[in-house]
Amino acid sequence: MADRILVFYGSYRSDRQGIRLADWLVRAFAARGADAELIDAKAVGLPMLDRMYKEYPAGEAPEAMEQLAAKIRAADAFVFVTGEYNWGMQPGLKNLTDHFLEEWHWRPAAIASYSAGRFAGARAGLAWHGTLSEMGMVVVSSTLAVGGIGRAFDDAGEPTGDGGGALARAFPRFADDLSWWTDAARNQRAQKAPPY
Protein backbone atom coordinates (compact mmCIF):
# COMPACT_ATOMS: atom_id res chain seq x y z
CA MET A 1 0.00 0.00 0.00
CA ALA A 2 1.42 3.39 -0.99
CA ASP A 3 1.79 5.93 1.78
CA ARG A 4 -0.74 8.75 1.31
CA ILE A 5 1.24 11.94 2.02
CA LEU A 6 -0.19 15.44 1.99
CA VAL A 7 2.39 18.18 1.39
CA PHE A 8 1.12 21.49 2.78
CA TYR A 9 2.35 24.86 1.51
CA GLY A 10 1.17 28.21 2.83
CA SER A 11 2.60 31.28 1.12
CA TYR A 12 0.10 33.77 -0.26
CA ARG A 13 2.75 36.06 -1.75
CA SER A 14 2.67 36.89 -5.47
CA ASP A 15 6.30 35.80 -5.99
CA ARG A 16 6.23 32.45 -4.20
CA GLN A 17 9.70 30.91 -4.06
CA GLY A 18 8.88 28.00 -1.76
CA ILE A 19 6.31 26.49 -4.12
CA ARG A 20 9.23 25.01 -6.04
CA LEU A 21 10.33 23.18 -2.90
CA ALA A 22 6.78 21.93 -2.26
CA ASP A 23 6.38 20.75 -5.87
CA TRP A 24 9.77 19.01 -5.79
CA LEU A 25 8.86 17.21 -2.55
CA VAL A 26 5.64 15.90 -4.10
CA ARG A 27 7.65 14.55 -7.05
CA ALA A 28 10.40 13.14 -4.81
CA PHE A 29 7.92 11.27 -2.60
CA ALA A 30 6.08 9.98 -5.68
CA ALA A 31 9.38 8.68 -7.08
CA ARG A 32 9.72 6.62 -3.90
CA GLY A 33 6.27 5.10 -4.49
CA ALA A 34 4.18 7.34 -2.24
CA ASP A 35 0.83 8.82 -3.20
CA ALA A 36 1.77 12.45 -2.57
CA GLU A 37 -0.45 15.48 -3.10
CA LEU A 38 0.20 19.19 -2.75
CA ILE A 39 -2.26 21.13 -0.60
CA ASP A 40 -1.71 24.81 -1.39
CA ALA A 41 -3.34 27.02 1.25
CA LYS A 42 -3.74 29.87 -1.23
CA ALA A 43 -5.54 27.61 -3.73
CA VAL A 44 -7.77 26.09 -1.03
CA GLY A 45 -8.68 29.61 0.07
CA LEU A 46 -10.10 29.04 3.53
CA PRO A 47 -11.24 32.25 5.26
CA MET A 48 -9.53 33.59 8.35
CA LEU A 49 -10.46 31.22 11.14
CA ASP A 50 -13.88 31.91 12.60
CA ARG A 51 -15.21 28.39 13.17
CA MET A 52 -13.22 25.18 13.07
CA TYR A 53 -14.42 22.37 10.84
CA LYS A 54 -15.77 20.48 13.87
CA GLU A 55 -17.84 23.50 14.93
CA TYR A 56 -20.07 23.35 11.85
CA PRO A 57 -23.16 21.15 11.94
CA ALA A 58 -22.68 18.01 9.87
CA GLY A 59 -22.86 18.82 6.17
CA GLU A 60 -22.76 22.61 6.66
CA ALA A 61 -19.02 23.34 6.49
CA PRO A 62 -17.84 25.21 3.38
CA GLU A 63 -17.16 22.79 0.53
CA ALA A 64 -13.39 23.48 0.42
CA MET A 65 -13.17 22.76 4.14
CA GLU A 66 -15.22 19.58 3.82
CA GLN A 67 -13.04 18.28 0.99
CA LEU A 68 -9.82 19.07 2.83
CA ALA A 69 -11.07 17.43 6.04
CA ALA A 70 -11.69 14.23 4.08
CA LYS A 71 -8.20 14.35 2.58
CA ILE A 72 -6.58 14.91 5.98
CA ARG A 73 -8.52 12.03 7.55
CA ALA A 74 -7.50 9.72 4.68
CA ALA A 75 -3.80 10.64 4.81
CA ASP A 76 -1.08 8.54 6.38
CA ALA A 77 1.40 11.38 6.91
CA PHE A 78 1.93 15.10 6.43
CA VAL A 79 4.77 17.35 5.30
CA PHE A 80 4.61 21.05 6.16
CA VAL A 81 6.64 23.30 3.85
CA THR A 82 7.14 26.58 5.62
CA GLY A 83 8.84 29.83 4.87
CA GLU A 84 10.02 32.08 7.65
CA TYR A 85 8.40 35.45 8.14
CA ASN A 86 10.13 37.66 10.73
CA TRP A 87 11.38 34.66 12.72
CA GLY A 88 7.95 33.04 12.61
CA MET A 89 5.62 30.84 10.62
CA GLN A 90 3.62 31.83 7.57
CA PRO A 91 0.13 33.01 8.54
CA GLY A 92 -1.55 31.34 5.54
CA LEU A 93 -0.34 27.88 6.50
CA LYS A 94 -1.09 28.40 10.18
CA ASN A 95 -4.62 29.58 9.35
CA LEU A 96 -5.26 26.49 7.22
CA THR A 97 -4.06 24.07 9.89
CA ASP A 98 -6.07 25.76 12.66
CA HIS A 99 -9.36 24.96 10.91
CA PHE A 100 -8.86 21.31 11.91
CA LEU A 101 -7.83 19.42 15.02
CA GLU A 102 -8.92 15.81 15.53
CA GLU A 103 -8.43 15.18 11.81
CA TRP A 104 -4.63 15.47 12.33
CA HIS A 105 -4.37 13.07 15.27
CA TRP A 106 -2.20 9.95 15.40
CA ARG A 107 -0.22 10.52 12.21
CA PRO A 108 3.37 11.66 11.68
CA ALA A 109 4.39 15.02 10.31
CA ALA A 110 7.66 16.30 8.90
CA ILE A 111 8.84 19.88 8.42
CA ALA A 112 10.67 21.38 5.44
CA SER A 113 11.62 25.01 5.94
CA TYR A 114 13.13 27.59 3.62
CA SER A 115 14.11 31.22 3.43
CA ALA A 116 16.06 33.60 1.27
CA GLY A 117 18.76 33.81 3.91
CA ARG A 118 21.30 31.45 5.39
CA PHE A 119 19.16 30.29 8.33
CA ALA A 120 16.94 28.42 5.84
CA GLY A 121 13.72 29.00 7.76
CA ALA A 122 14.97 27.04 10.78
CA ARG A 123 13.22 29.34 13.27
CA ALA A 124 9.86 28.79 11.54
CA GLY A 125 10.55 25.04 11.54
CA LEU A 126 11.17 25.17 15.28
CA ALA A 127 7.90 27.03 15.85
CA TRP A 128 6.02 24.47 13.76
CA HIS A 129 7.45 21.55 15.72
CA GLY A 130 5.64 22.56 18.91
CA THR A 131 2.46 23.55 17.09
CA LEU A 132 2.14 20.27 15.19
CA SER A 133 2.84 18.26 18.35
CA GLU A 134 0.10 20.15 20.18
CA MET A 135 -2.27 19.35 17.30
CA GLY A 136 -1.81 15.61 17.85
CA MET A 137 0.87 14.72 15.32
CA VAL A 138 4.16 12.94 15.93
CA VAL A 139 6.81 15.21 14.45
CA VAL A 140 9.76 13.27 13.04
CA SER A 141 13.24 14.36 14.04
CA SER A 142 14.58 14.71 10.49
CA THR A 143 13.99 18.08 8.89
CA LEU A 144 14.83 19.78 5.64
CA ALA A 145 16.07 23.37 5.63
CA VAL A 146 16.75 25.14 2.35
CA GLY A 147 18.59 28.45 2.42
CA GLY A 148 18.87 30.77 -0.55
CA ILE A 149 15.55 29.43 -1.85
CA GLY A 150 15.64 31.71 -4.89
CA ARG A 151 18.79 29.96 -6.13
CA ALA A 152 18.09 26.40 -4.94
CA PHE A 153 16.14 25.23 -8.00
CA ASP A 154 16.78 25.51 -11.71
CA ASP A 155 14.22 26.49 -14.36
CA ALA A 156 13.02 22.88 -14.57
CA GLY A 157 12.32 22.81 -10.82
CA GLU A 158 15.28 20.56 -9.97
CA PRO A 159 17.64 21.22 -7.05
CA THR A 160 20.77 23.16 -8.00
CA GLY A 161 23.61 25.00 -6.32
CA ASP A 162 24.60 24.64 -2.68
CA GLY A 163 21.05 24.82 -1.28
CA GLY A 164 19.64 22.40 -3.82
CA GLY A 165 22.55 20.00 -3.38
CA ALA A 166 22.07 19.96 0.38
CA LEU A 167 18.35 19.29 -0.13
CA ALA A 168 18.99 16.36 -2.49
CA ARG A 169 21.48 14.83 -0.03
CA ALA A 170 19.20 15.25 3.00
CA PHE A 171 15.95 14.07 1.40
CA PRO A 172 16.50 10.28 1.55
CA ARG A 173 16.96 10.29 5.35
CA PHE A 174 14.04 12.71 5.76
CA ALA A 175 11.79 10.45 3.66
CA ASP A 176 13.01 7.27 5.40
CA ASP A 177 12.28 8.81 8.81
CA LEU A 178 8.76 9.82 7.78
CA SER A 179 8.15 6.41 6.19
CA TRP A 180 9.20 4.56 9.36
CA TRP A 181 6.83 6.60 11.54
CA THR A 182 4.07 6.30 8.94
CA ASP A 183 4.31 2.50 9.08
CA ALA A 184 4.49 2.53 12.87
CA ALA A 185 1.42 4.74 13.25
CA ARG A 186 -0.61 2.80 10.66
CA ASN A 187 0.26 -0.53 12.32
CA GLN A 188 -0.59 0.77 15.80
CA ARG A 189 -3.93 2.19 14.66
CA ALA A 190 -4.75 -1.21 13.10
CA GLN A 191 -4.00 -3.01 16.38
CA LYS A 192 -5.47 -0.63 18.91
CA ALA A 193 -7.89 2.28 18.77
CA PRO A 194 -6.36 5.63 19.75
CA PRO A 195 -7.10 6.57 23.38
CA TYR A 196 -9.09 9.66 22.33
pLDDT digits 0-9 by tens, 129-185? 999 999 999 999 999 999 999 999 999 999 999 999 999 999 999 999 999 999 999
pLDDT in tens, 86-131: 888 899 999 999 999 999 999 999 999 998 888 888 999 999 999 9
CA distances from 13 to 9, 17, 41, 42, 179 (A): 12, 9, 11, 9, 31
Q: What is the DSSP string of 20-64?
A: HHHHHHHHHHHHTT-EEEEEEHHHH-PPSSSS-GGGSPTT-S-HH
CA angle 156, 90, 131 (to 5 degrees): 115
DSSP code string of 63-126 = HHHHHHHHHHHH-SEEEEEEEEETTEE-HHHHHHHHT-SGGGTT-EEEEEEE-SSTTTTHHHHH
The confidence score (pLDDT) of residue 195 equals 86
Taking alpha carbons only, the member of 104, 52, 43, 113 closest to residue 78 is 104
Mean of the pLDDT values across residues 8-23?
A: 94
Domains along the chain?
Answer: 4-191 (3.40.50.360)
The pTM assigned to this predicted structure is: 0.96
